[in-house]
Amino acid sequence: MRSKVTASLILVIVVAIAAGVINYEGLIAKNTKLIPKLGLDLRGGVRIVLEAQDTESAKATNDAIDAAVVVIDKRVNALGVSEATVVREGVNSKRIMVELPGWTDPEAAKGIIGKTALLEFKTEDGKVVVNGSNLKSVQAALSQVQGSLGEPEISFELDAAGTTAFAAATQANVGKKITIYLDSQVLMSPTVDSAITDGKGVISGGFTTAEVSKDVLLLKSGSLPVKLVTLSEEVVGPSLGSTFVRRSALAAVIAFLLVVIWMFVMYRYLGLVSGIALIIYADILMAAYLVLHATLSLPAIGGAILSIGMAVDANCIIFERIREELGMKKTVKSAIGAGFSRAFRAVFDSNLTVLVGTAFLFYFGSGTVRGFSVTLALGVLASMFTAVFASHTLVDLLLTPAIARNSRKFLG
């Protein structure tokens, strides 16, 4: 018996310390690998959901959507948003979700993300001679030409195929116009003086620096192979979320204290044990969030708070059982032993039922539901661990003969 207690005690201490170190690293030392991941609703930012649509020229095939994700990813990274995510919502989903944490300007984001950015060089009779896929390089530049000196412009270089096509087209269209379109909008419409054979050129025409850098970014990342429409847009100001995080952290502390006070009133000495068990529980749970990079969002916090209730529940079941066993005139020691072993099945079944439920929620649910089921499942596992190992060990350990003699007074 004693050796079993010692083994459990060592296990609990090791786990609690390991969890403590992880929490210290993540929350206080801000170790980048362990920094808590907050959902967009808590840290602020922009989330945009786009849907690929079939058009006459481009079907929304799986490959096209995957390619679009890569293009958007390039664009978003060029914006310099750290930890931006661009994902397809499911394997065969036509939706792409873009999250830009900390970003506050949805219009600028949409101007870059959803733009097809199809660059086309068309002759007067509407024939496309060169398009964006022929671009070898694109750069923002300043005009070197007298008259427009210093004006922002886009300089480009075509690849081999593009150069050949462009040379042939300029050759055939001397004296006529070749118009350059970006997403069917005219960028410029110069008249061809002579054949251009080196595949180099500039696009100019009274652009602002911002316009040029945006267009260069778009052209560099390539055009989207499929038409995307915006389905939803969410913007959360960064201070809203942080206020909420601060408040709910404080709420968690107050809730914890109230729970411990109530447990003390109800179960006296045992109630204090559940207080310590709850601290260990919170310690393990937080560490699990950090290690697994669980995203903490509003519903996830709901799941976490609910799991506090379940952690307390395991203690309530056990303590009530001990009381009952005591009522049957058993000794304190055997009452505690019987209490734990009999209560275990109820704790096990109730928690496992919940785990089964959360597994299905996770598998079939979408974002919100998933966040909730992950935090709840972690909470259930942590609470089972603390109930089985920590609470039991603590009760065994603190059960000195003096307490055993005064059982009624100490156990409420």
Partner 1 sequence: MTFRERILKWDIIGKTRTWFTMSSIIIVIGIAAMVVNTISFGSPLKFGIDFIGGTLINASFEKAPDEAVVSSILSANGYSNVTVQRAGEKGITMKVEASEIDPAVSGKIISDIVAKYGAVDVGTYEITSIAPVIGRDLLRRSSLALGLSLLFTLLYITIRFKFSFGLATILGMVHDIFVALGILAVFRVPLNAPFVGAFLAIITYSVQDGVVVMDRIREKLRYRAKEPFDKLANAAVTETWMRSFNTSFTTFLAVLVLFIMGGAPIRDFSTTLLVGIISGTYSSIYISTPLLVLWVQGREKAAALQKA
Binding to partner 1 (CB under 8 A): which residues in 189-208?
A: none
Assess contact for 145 and 88: CB atoms under 8 A. no
Assess contact for 96 and 230: CB atoms under 8 A. no
What does the per-residue mask of binding to partner 1 show for 131-170, with x meaning CB under 8 A? ----------------------------------------
Q: Rule CB under 8 A: is residue 312 a binding residue for partner 1?
A: yes
What does the per-residue mask of binding to partner 1 show for 341-360, with x meaning CB under 8 A? -x--xx--xxxxxx-xxx-x
**In this structure, are strands 200-203 and 152-158 parallel, antiparallel, or unpaired?**
antiparallel
Residue placing its CB nearer to partner 1 in the complex, 63 or 349: 349
Binding to partner 1 (CB under 8 A): which residues in 34-63?
A: 41, 49, 51
Here the tokens at position 239 are 């201070």
Q: Rule CB under 8 A: is residue 24 a binding residue for partner 1?
A: no
Binding to partner 1 (CB under 8 A): which residues in 280-299?
A: 298-299
Here the tokens at position 127 are 């024939």
Q: Rule CB under 8 A: is residue 114 a binding residue for partner 1?
A: yes
Q: Rule CB under 8 A: is residue 231 a binding residue for partner 1?
A: yes
Least distance CB 248 / partner 1 (angstroms): 6
Q: Rule CB under 8 A: is residue 303 a binding residue for partner 1?
A: yes
Here the tokens at position 91 are 């394997």
Residue placing its CB nearer to partner 1 in the complex, 279 or 346: 346
Total residues contacting partner 1 (rule CB under 8 A)?
A: 76
Q: Rule CB under 8 A: is residue 255 a binding residue for partner 1?
A: yes
Residue placing its CB nearer to partner 1 in the complex, 158 or 310: 310
d(C-alpha 121, C-alpha 130), whole Å: 5
Residue from 12, 98, 376, 394 in contact with partner 1 (CB under 8 A): 376
Least distance CB 100 / partner 1 (angstroms): 13
Residue placing its CB nearer to partner 1 in the complex, 168 or 231: 231
Residue where the block lists tokens 């733009």: 115
Stretch that binds partner 1, among 3-11, 73-81, 138-146, 225-233 (CB under 8 A): 225-233
Least distance CB 362 / partner 1 (angstroms): 8
